[in-house]
Amino acid sequence: MVWPVGQPLGKLYERAMRSQSIWKTCCKEGSIWHEAVGSLLNVYEEDECRVVEEFYELNKAHRDISVLEPKRVLEISAATNPKNLKAALWSSTEVIVDPREAIAKLPEYLEAKYDIRFLFNKAITRVEHSSVFCGNQKYEADIIFVCSGADFETLYPELFLNSGITKCKLQMLRTVPQPDNWRIGPALSAGLTLTHYGAFDNCPSLSALKKRVEAEMPEYVQWGIHVMISQNGLSEITIGDSHEYGLVHDPFDRQSINHLILDYLKQFTIIKNPTIGQTWNGIYPKLKGKTEFVTSPTSGVHVINGLSGAGMTLSFGLAEEVVETVSR
């Protein structure tokens, strides 16, 4: 999900919208499946409704958003659970891209358009000014960008240690393809998502909502769970996620976390075929209190990292900003 609505107004929202624009261009020109379906954040409690209404009032002049009544929500969302639905925050800016397809097709598109040469299956073991090394192989460049996620710890262990970055492990799930090409419509989330994204921090009623969630749903707070879903071109539905923080994580998924995710999912969606086809976990760098980590450990080398789980939404825009700065 390219999800600009979750980014606070100002620099991050502008970056998210620029990223969204680049995604749409790349996907269109590279024949990569994508769908500009927007998103709905469905709310079922009075305190959630208050936060959504406050967010709308604070942001309506700057975003294409609206607060929809239940009848309208159900008209545009085939997957929304109508039971106790009070309202939904509609945003038009969200775009769905399947990362697996995009990662596979972007190199071919970039090679054709910009004559970029990609070298796969090369483990970079050392970076020096103007040179990177893969074992005994040496590659030279005028400018080197290190954009390797948490793996940059192996290249710059002291820099990583002093950066303030930790690591986040998240668990995700994906359903089997839905029958008869049944579509969920917009990307969907619910009240817990209000407690997770910085865009909602200025809402006066958010603190009360967080207190209720902490009291009534302590396991969700413990594992950093909020639930969002989107649907890819194969009609599979991707579901996530949880957030565990630390420098070292075990490789095993906690089935109890997946159960919590699916239990909450049922509260705001009704999926035609909820059978889970795949589960997995991922690890990304988390930089608390900052929006990105950009530094130059040596002349001509630039490390870009720490987008903290918003990489699909922010990375293209950030990359453009960094390249423009370096090129001056």
Residue 328 has pLDDT above 80, yes or no: no
Q: How far apart are CA 85 and CA 40, in angstroms?
A: 12
In a 13 Å sphere around the CA of 35, the CA atoms on its Cβ side amount to 16
Residue 311 has pLDDT above 80, yes or no: yes
Would you say 109 and 26 are in contact if contact means Cβ atoms under 8 Å apart? yes
First vs last C-alpha separation in the chain: 32
DSSP labels, 114-131: H-PPP--S----EEETTE
Residue 115 has pLDDT above 80, yes or no: yes
Mean pLDDT of the region 212-240: 98
Structure tokens at 275: 């059978």
Residues whose CB is less than 8 angstroms from the CB of residue 133 and which lie 6 or more positions away in sequence, other chains included:
124, 125, 126, 127, 139
Would you say 124 and 133 are in contact if contact means Cβ atoms under 8 Å apart? yes
For the chain, what is the mean pLDDT? 96
Residue 31 has pLDDT above 90, yes or no: yes
Residue 140 has pLDDT above 80, yes or no: yes
Query: What percentage of the chain has pLDDT greater than the value 70?
Result: 100
pLDDT at 208: 98
pLDDT at 214: 98
pLDDT at 63: 98
- Could you tell me which residue, 187 or 128, shows the higher pLDDT? 187
Nearest-CA neighbor of 34 among 90, 102, 112? 102
Residue 150 has pLDDT above 90, yes or no: no
Residue 123 has pLDDT above 80, yes or no: yes
DSSP labels, 18-87: HHHHHHHHHHHHTT--EE---EEEEE-SHHHHHHHHHHHHHHTTTSSEEEE-HHHHHHH-TTB--TT--E
Q: What is the pLDDT of residues 153-189, one digit of tens each?
A: 999 999 999 999 999 999 999 999 999 999 999 999 9
DSSP labels, 277-319: EEEEEEEEEEETT-S-EEEEEETTEEEEE--TT-HHHHHHHHH
Would you say 307 and 315 are in contact if contact means Cβ atoms under 8 Å apart? yes
In a 13 Å sphere around the CA of 47, the CA atoms on its Cβ side amount to 14
**Residue position matching structure tokens 């994204």:** 197
Residue 254 has pLDDT above 80, yes or no: yes
pLDDT at 160: 94
Would you say 117 and 128 are in contact if contact means Cβ atoms under 8 Å apart? no
